[in-house]
Homo-oligomer: A and B are copies of this chain.
Amino acid sequence: MTETEPARRGRAARNDSVILDAARAVFLEDPKAPIAAVAERAGVGMSALYRRYAGKEDLLRRLCHDGLRRFIAEAEAADAEPDGWAAFTRFLERVVEADVHSLTVHLAGTFTPTPEMRRDAERAGALGAALAGRAAASGRLRRDVVTGDVGLVLEGCAAIRVPDPGRTRELRLRHLAMLLDGMAAADAPALPGPPPAPGELDWRWRRSPGADPVSAAE
């Protein structure tokens, strides 16, 4: 157990990130993908996976938690922006661009979250609400938009998907721009229906991993 083991550690560390990148790509494509697809994409065997993660659930939990942390980081970074509306739009653009929503929401329900994840999810929600509040205070957000509408926006953008990932990002940002114009339409008639309640879109987080899937998209 000496200190210096450069070669072994180096290759193992490289495999760490290779596996994580492959897992992210594969599970963003298909949340129900078999774990063997991750190994194949990473160019490693199954052993390299199971040496690092106790099982599929562990890997998914890690990916989702990373996405959650990214969400929080983007929210905090955007919050540094002095203009409330600019902070809001920049935040949404970055989150859509990084495909964080798929990483968090679409993977939820496939594992049992840790208490720390629940805390982070709560914090993420608070940060998002704060940004929406600042956007509202800036006066550029139409008055009948509530925090829950942000969840609908992210959900809608994440649903757009074409075979090419780069093109997917372009189309999502285009769609988001249209949505932002809709959210900024101050003189538009009131939005129909009761606005989304705060906890109404968090139902995925409460489902146990064995529950039957309601979505797909699948």
Please give the residue numbers on chain A whose beta carbons come within 8 Å of chain B beta carbons, in ascending order: 25, 29-32, 106, 145, 149, 152-153, 155-167, 170-171, 173-175, 177-185, 188, 191-196, 200-201, 203, 212-218
Contact = CB atoms under 8 A, between A and B. Distances in A.
A178 B182 contact: yes
A155 B159 contact: yes
A37 to B, nearest CB: 9
B157 A203 contact: no
Number of copies: 2
Given A156-B156, A185-B182, A215 B177 contact: no
Given A31-B218, A194-B170, A216-B25, A156 B175 contact: yes
Give the 5 A-B residue pairs with the shortest CB-CB distance, closest first. Answer: A182-B182, A159-B159, A156-B156, A170-B193, A178-B182
B159 A171 contact: no
A31 B178 CA distance: 29
A180 B183 CA distance: 10
A149 B178 contact: yes
Contacts of A191: 174, 177-178
Contacts of A193: 170-171, 173-174
B161 A215 contact: yes
Given A30-B215, A156-B159, A164-B216, 8 more contacts: A25-B216, A30-B218, A152-B171, A156-B156, A156-B175, A163-B214, A173-B193, A177-B192
A188 B174 CA distance: 13
A200 B203 CA distance: 32
A203 B163 contact: yes
12 contacts: A29-B214, A29-B216, A30-B215, A31-B217, A32-B213, A164-B217, A170-B192, A171-B196, A174-B196, A177-B191, A178-B182, A179-B182
Nearest to A151: B160
